[in-house]
Amino acid sequence: MCGIVGFTGNHQAAPILLYGLSRLEYRGYDSAGLAVRDGEGDTEVIKAKGRLKVLADKTNNGESVPGTCGIGHTRWATHGEPSETNAHPHMSDDGNVVAVHNGIIENYQELKDKLLRKRYSFYSETDTEVIAHLFEYYYKGDIMDTMIKVINRVEGSYALGVLCVDYPDQFIAVRKASPMIVGLGDEENFIASDVTAILKHTRDIYYLEDN
């Protein structure tokens, strides 16, 4: 089960992500991570095995990770042991794509074999890592177009949040057979696995349908 929270707006993202993830702890998890983007700068990815508190301590409750756009994740391992390496977010080879995922990519081995033949390298044991590489593989400058190509290629269940180098203050999200909601705020927006993660910020919420 586990959870996803995403934020983009005019506030520091990391504390909002950590708070949101803490509201999703009831869903169970074995590790956690977040990715935050500060304008045009690089995306910073921080991960920790174990309790969310370890991630909070590592980031000084989010304060040491500046930036106003980000995605956070709690993982319940299905492919690969609970570890810092296997924790999300996962990154493409070129570092331009950063993804979080809840669910299972059923055809990940087939996709991984194809990407390996195209000289992509893998650092984790997760099914999710194929998403980051596949996104990089298809990306020609349009985030929406790329996401459509990715979901046409993957089989299984997913709630996905993706940051992309050319979109400093945006992320893209999609779901199929795994929960994901969108929260609209005042010059800020959210995604989350469950309303409890963002109710403190907005009650203007809608439910994404499959695909």
For binding to ligand GLU (CB under 6 A), which residues are involved? 2, 75-80, 86, 101-104, 126-128
Give Cα 17 to chain centroid, integer Å.
Answer: 11
Minimum Å gap between C-beta 1 and ligand GLU is 7
The nearer residue to ligand GLU, 79 or 149, going by C-beta atoms, is 79
For residue 178, which of 80, 76, 90, 82 has the smallest C-alpha distance?
76
Minimum Å gap between C-beta 177 and ligand GLU is 12
Minimum Å gap between C-beta 165 and ligand GLU is 23
Q: Which amino acid is at 170?
A: Q
The nearer residue to ligand GLU, 147 or 154, going by C-beta atoms, is 154
The nearer residue to ligand GLU, 180 or 198, going by C-beta atoms, is 180
**Token pair 């909002």 is at which residue?**
16
Minimum Å gap between C-beta 170 and ligand GLU is 23
The nearer residue to ligand GLU, 44 or 127, going by C-beta atoms, is 127
